A and B are shown apart, each in its own frame.
Chain A
Amino acid sequence: MLGLTTTVDDDPLARRRRDRRLFGGLVAAAMLALLTLDYLGRPIAAVLAYWTFVVGAGVVMYRSDVIMDERDRALERVASHRAVLAVGAGLVVLGPGIGALSEADVYDAPALVDGVLLGWVALFAVWGVAYGVTRLQR
């Protein structure tokens, strides 16, 4: 048997658990600090604490070589693909439909819906740029 062995001192599974817990803890702390300090009427401190914890989580994510393995990345790819399909389908169905209903004086959607549709369009714009860059790289 070939020797791709690990030592107890450098157990990648233990490091993965530690890094994942650290990452999750920092994200949870960021949300908790934001909500708590905002509730206590200290909005600037809330944002500062939030960004401190978020930057910490980012550092953990960036520095860890074990926090995600190839299956995690594959899951992310599939989930992202499904999310884009769902948003695309929503945009195709709702985009022209909402406008037509409004023009026909049948239904006026609240402004929030326009904002959501605009957000979806922006998402696809970002996706298009990301796709183009990725295609150039491969």
Chain B
Amino acid sequence: MEDLKAPSIDYAAVAPILILFGAACLGVVVEAFVPRRARHAVQLTLALLATLAGLVVVITQASTRVTTAVGALAIDGPAVFLQGAILVLALVSLLLMGERKLEPGGAFVPQAAITVGSEADERQAARAPGLTEVYPISLFAIAGMLLFVAANDLLTMFIALEVFSLPLYLLCALARRRRLLSQEAALKYFLLGSYASAFFLFGVALVYGFVGAVDLASIHTAAAESDRDPLLLYAGLALLSIGLLFKTAAVPFHVWTPDVYQGAPTPVTAFMAACTKVAAFGALLRVLYVGFNGLSWDFTPILGVVAVLTMIIGAVLAVTQTDIKRLLAYSSIANAGYLLVGVLASGERGLASTMFYLVAYGFSVLAAFAVVTLVRDADGEAGHLSRWAGLGRRSPLIAGLFTFILLAFAGIPLTSGFISKFAVFAAAMEGGQTWLVIAGVISSIVLAFPYLRVVVMMWLSDPSDATPTVSVPGVLTTAALAIGVAMTLLLGVAPSLLLDLTTGAAEFVQ
């Protein structure tokens, strides 16, 4: 047999992924060798530096357009842009995770294995420093996401999906307060996530049955040229979409979202809401735009129905929520619907507007969850909405910032929310998907109600004894909150900075 030729890998192009994986492994080693007292500082620094280094390399690779590792990875415009977006948003989430001022020991449980409610549990909840393994685990998740948006064949994509999902399941279980809720959330997310992964894998098998390969270029060619019965291809695409739509939290695959968002530690919720959305939509865009773009006439009506359902159900259920984290979870479901509108708009406009939306939404949602971590009483965060009544009188600055973010979510002009909604709806109009835009506008109107209700509650109600105090944030949370709010404002008043970037990046390589 002939000798194996080592595959050529463009190491510069994949360097961000490698840096993050390397730093994650290093983090595990740090856990073993660095004394306990210094671990938190070392781990946080390492994670931030690695993310920053990855970001710098991504920026230097801004004009790279290659497929590498024998076609397994495509480092092209959308991949580089989305990798950059994931890294920036992850950087901000890491700041939130690293905060230890708000609560002695941070938001994470010191020892997850201690029985909930036992004497040892009460002792550790009071003062023991939180787990530091969360940083290497988060780095693994970030690295998996970077790989996920660059994967050019379905097998690599599946492995990347698992690589970033497993750490997320773990992180969900590590809340310091309300640990049973947190563990339940992790178990639900794990079980449902495994089902979704199984669907994805099943879809890969069916697509392989039709195409005889799993790389997206071959799928594109086979879909266009093969004269066989395309049933396998359709069934495969349907199952693949289930796997991906689960991660994006689209209806009817959304049921995990509220429980998981509520149960997970708030910094992790922020991380999931911002970064997982970017990664999942990045992969969905690549699968639909590169592999299956020849079938867009066939999948657009079905995914359109999913988008409409997602927007309407997310918005309607958000109205009935009484917990701020659940409210934001349903709002994130509705936002997945708007993003799907952008995806279905197809073409360069659709791609660019979806990418813009992802970044703009990511920053806003990070800032929103940063505020949620601040509003707390002796038992931890005060999640129930009735407790937020009168917050505007007690701490006008924080309530003001939160109001601004909520207005951005509602799509008021001069915020990034307006520009991003406008961009995806305009792209959808151009792509001939008027019905999606109509549903989107109706859903936006419905969704404005719960946001405005919170605003009214904060400013127009009198503070009661139950109104919690707003803790003074540490440097890290302040930075995260400031970045989130500043970007929401900046992308609202000067969107062309990012719009130019997304338009320039909006082309996949085959």
- Whether A and B are associated in the same complex: the answer reads no
Using CB atoms and an 8 Å cutoff, list the residues of chain B in contact with chain A.
none
